[in-house]
Amino acid sequence: MANLVEIRDLKVEATTDSGRRVEIIKGISLDIADGEIVALIGESGSGKTTIALTLMGYARPGCRISGGSVSVAGKNMVALGEKERARVRGTEIAYVPQSAAAAFNPAATIMDQVIEITRIHQLMSPDGARAKAVDLFRALSLPQPETIGTRYPHQVSGGQLQRLAAAMALIGDPKLVIFDEPTTALDVTTQIEVLRAFKSVMKAGGISGVYVSHDLAVVAQIADRIVVLKGGEMQETGTTDEILNDAKHPYTRELLDAFEPKPRGTAGPTEPAPAPLLKIDTLVAGYGPRQADGLPLVRAVKQVSLTVEKGRNLGIIGESGCGKSTLARAIAGILPAVDGSIHFEGRELGRSARERSREQLREMQIVFQYADTALNPAKSIEDILDRPLAFYHGMGSSARIARIDELLDMVRLPRNLRHRRPSELSGGQKQRVNFARALAAEPKLILCDEITSALDTVVAAAIIDLLKELQRELGLSYVFISHDLSTVQAICDEVVVMYAGEKVEQLASSELASGAKHPYSKLLFASVPKLDTGWLDGLDQRPELARAFSKAG
Amino acid sequence: MTMTTTSTSTTSVRKSGNRLGYRFNVVGILGLTVILSWALVAVFAPLIIPYPVGEIVDLDYFGPMSHDFWLGSDYLGRDMLSRILMGARYTVGISLAAVTIACFSGVVLGMIAAVAGGWLDTILSRFLDALNSIPSKLFGLVVVAAVGSSIPVLILTLSVIYIPGAYRFARALAVNINAMDFITVARIRGESTWYLIRSEILPNIVGPVLADLGIRFVFIVLLLSGLSFLGLGVQPPYADWGALVRENIGGLPFGAPAVMFPSLAIASLTISVNLLIDNLPQKIRDRA
């Protein structure tokens, strides 16, 4: 019996700005059987989304399917004309995008957009379509399935919107659904509900799926088969169990290794320090105009106290919107705190960076999440690293040149990179430059605000290793902010859990899973997907607990 | 020597990604050529004019183009070619001075407002908005009529008129750059406002600012010609191109070259500037 999808020797070409042709997909062959869910996994630029889009006969602007065939249900999507393709899209093949928020039109109600496909293809009457949509909402366990369709996209939460995007895809009874990183932008606690809903709907309808993701643990829950991609080539393919437990290809093993949290080894020398390096006491920070009580309208950080010992690392973990980045900004003095105190090495720091001395600013550096916006695109790497050396240390020009070489060595970048501009570096390299700039100041404490979140797993793991190594050599301390439990576990001694602007709990990194007492910490730790195919099904989680802590219900 | 320069330039191109790769297209080169020739004419005008500008050399008025008078003669029988060549000094010189002052002050103020924010931004913005609300021709007329026309007064008036536009433009660009993380990094490094605008913001807005400078130059040329046409610009016996058009407007019914060629000169300069800025090398335009 023929498979639903048969991709044979697929090649996709892209034309670069300078007019050069680059082959981005180099001969992929792939089969998907009826009712099977195949995951395409790989880092950014591996071609996973490009392959998924060719299933609809689509190549992004500047790209062109240059060879091979993609047959879906007996039709070769490459050879079809644009009109025939349009007829197939939505009815036989449907697509769930990464960012549902960007895929919905904010000016129309959800129901109108969900049933749009039935209207375009004239599949059924509007009333029939609405009834079917409500059934789908119910199947995807959305709250108030009868009335949620009358709302507008901004009136539902991100996780709900992602499930509504799935409903939109499923309404035309497709044979194949393409999920393009549908849970990447969601918090872990929300991700579980969405994954569960997807899985049950797909299994119930016997629908085939292509699940594009960079997260092996998420894929392990939903896919039957995994295809590992790198640089437009297939590295390895196998059933989910085979890949997870018996990976053959070195790249797959690298991906698996990068996922495993490597617990931080011996926690640095615990010399009895006279005073903690950083001590924060009942800090309050927020946005908006001051109210009558002297506090801002939106209080993003409420009365948080914590201490960082010299040579030790503190992790701050929580979902988006919990105030962890605001806390980092308040500590750095970017957003002056409105109440509370910050002590650094026993001396009180001004709340705003302007009130701090140059020396105080030097000793505490911050590295941001988005490596590209943190580097001035008009300057060379050399100029970027040069400035803190001249500014803080007043070095002569030859000393600076030598020091820049040292800094590049420290962050494991080749020295000849110094003449390049940030746009000519990869994401991981840019983050290393950011780190080198912080190191140039010779700080005692570095605030790392989600520094690995925008990077691929393997690259992020290398950055974490670098951080550990530098800490051993230079005796630094880190405040490491992240939403990703495994990275925090890999580098921190102590972990603070934040929820809705408050510090919920502080735990030693080794006892995160066992020692959590607060129900929110328990929920958070239990929600992190594990590299185990049965994890999602075996998860015993009370939905009312998850709902109690999810923001929009 | 040639060998070494070529080889270093190619290697640096490869290394730093087209560092010297200012590639123009044909239209851009055409515009640049016309602008450069007018600039040369403005500089060397006294050396190349065939007749003194103030002297009546032709017996006829509104004389046709001839071997002696290439562009004919004006309403008094003065040589048109000489007058246009000398007029370039006034038109190009005054406009260039005015556009430099306008863009420099506008861009610097705009960047300061974007970086400093708060009350300084509010006061500057409202003040310049108020200035912007006065119609430019009317403002020019009133000032020149009140103070009297001289070249410094013209330059200052024209630049004041065009500062608010340059300010608005630069501030809008700088506000976007100011929101980037690398500015935050520089701020908490303890850098001064001056360093922020000079080293962090300016390099990132220089492309659009140059394009804006070109447009503003064209506006100033047109406004200056307009003022001169109304008799408030450069005063006789000297004349910029606008004044030349006005002087010889009586020749229009006769199709005299004396009224055509100054108009063509204005058109050629303004169109060339537009062609140049529309076709700036990709490298400069990308600095947005």
- Classified as helix, coil or strand, A103 is helix
Supply the CATH number for residue A393's domain: 3.40.50.300
Report whether pLDDT(A219) > 50.
Answer: yes
pLDDT of residue B162: 93
Which of B18, B178, B189 to probe the A interface (max A CBs under 10 A)?
Answer: B189
Report whether pLDDT(A515) > 50.
Answer: yes
Domain final position from A508, A532, A548: A508
On whether residue A267 sits in a domain, the answer given is no
Report whether pLDDT(A277) > 70.
Answer: yes
When pLDDT is cut at 50, 70 and 90, the band that residue B109 belongs to is: very high
Contacts of A431 in chain B (CB under 8 A): none
On whether residue A327 sits in a domain, the answer given is yes
On whether residue A449 sits in a domain, the answer given is yes
pLDDT of residue A130: 92
On whether residue A553 sits in a domain, the answer given is no
- Give yes or no: residues A44 and A78 share one domain: yes
Provide the shortest C-alpha distance from residue A500 to chain B (in Å).
Answer: 25
Q: What is the pTM of this model?
A: 0.78
pLDDT of residue A220: 87
- Give yes or no: residues A195 and A297 share one domain: no
Which residues of chain B are at the A interface, by a Cβ-Cβ cutoff of 8 Å?
15-17, 180-182, 184-191, 199-200, 203-204, 287
| pLDDT one-digit tens code per residue, A345-393 | 888 888 888 889 989 999 999 999 888 889 998 899 999 999 999 999 9
On whether residue A48 sits in a domain, the answer given is yes
Domain final position from A259, A294, A309: A259
- Give yes or no: residues A255 and A346 share one domain: no
Quote ipTM for the complex: 0.75
Contacts of A356 in chain B (CB under 8 A): 190
The strand ranges marked E within A309-442 are 314-317, 339-344, 347-348, 364-367
Distance, in Å, from the CA atom of B113 to the CA atom of B119, rounded to the nearest integer, reads 9
- Give yes or no: residues A312 and A215 share one domain: no
Q: Which of A96, A240, A98, A101 shows the shortest CA–CA distance to A165?
A: A96
Q: Do B189 and A378 touch (CB under 8 A)?
A: no
- Give yes or no: residues A283 and A195 share one domain: no
- Give yes or no: residues A309 and A199 share one domain: no
In this structure, what is the dihedral angle of CA atoms A525, A526, A527, A533, given to the nearest 10 degrees? 130
- Give yes or no: residues A75 and A171 share one domain: yes
Q: Do A380 and B180 touch (CB under 8 A)?
A: no
Q: Are A252 and A228 in contact (CB under 8 A)?
A: yes
Please, what is the Cα angle at B163 between B157 and B165, to 5 degrees?
125
Residue among A361, A370, A379 minimizing CB distance to B203: A379
When pLDDT is cut at 50, 70 and 90, the band that residue B77 belongs to is: confident
Put simply, whether A282 touches B (Cβ < 8 Å) is no
Provide the shortest C-alpha distance from residue B281 to chain A (in Å).
Answer: 14
Average pLDDT across chain A, whole number = 85
Contacts of B204 in chain A (CB under 8 A): 376-378
Contacts of B189 in chain A (CB under 8 A): 361, 387-388, 391-392, 441
Give the A window 372-431 contacts with B, CB below 8 Å.
373-380, 387-388, 391-392, 419-421, 424
On whether residue A525 sits in a domain, the answer given is no
On whether residue A378 sits in a domain, the answer given is yes
Q: Do A374 and B185 touch (CB under 8 A)?
A: yes
Q: Do B17 and A376 touch (CB under 8 A)?
A: no
Average pLDDT of the residues in B2-30: 53
Report whether pLDDT(B285) > 70.
Answer: no
Average pLDDT across chain B, whole number = 84
- Give yes or no: residues A242 and A390 share one domain: no
- Give yes or no: residues A175 and A317 share one domain: no
Provide the shortest C-alpha distance from residue A442 to chain B (in Å).
Answer: 12
Distance, in Å, from the CA atom of B256 to the CA atom of B265, rounded to the nearest integer, reads 15
When pLDDT is cut at 50, 70 and 90, the band that residue B1 belongs to is: very low
Report whether pLDDT(A553) > 50.
Answer: no
Residue A215 Cα distances to A258, A259, B215, angstroms: 11, 9, 51
Quote the number of domains for chain A: 2
Structural domain containing residue A10:
5-259
- Give yes or no: residues A450 and A495 share one domain: yes
On whether residue A31 sits in a domain, the answer given is yes
Residue among A334, A387, A424 minimizing CB distance to B184: A334
Q: Are A481 and A325 in contact (CB under 8 A)?
A: yes
Contacts of B182 in chain A (CB under 8 A): 373-376
Classify domain B22-285 at the CATH superfamily level.
Answer: MetI-like (1.10.3720.10)
When pLDDT is cut at 50, 70 and 90, the band that residue A103 belongs to is: confident
| pLDDT one-digit tens code per residue, A304-341 | 899 898 888 999 988 877 888 889 999 999 888 888 89
pLDDT of residue A25: 87
- Give yes or no: residues A200 and A72 share one domain: yes
- Give yes or no: residues A289 and A253 share one domain: no
| pLDDT one-digit tens code per residue, A423-458 | 888 888 898 999 999 999 999 999 998 888 878 788
Tokens of A5: 């999808």
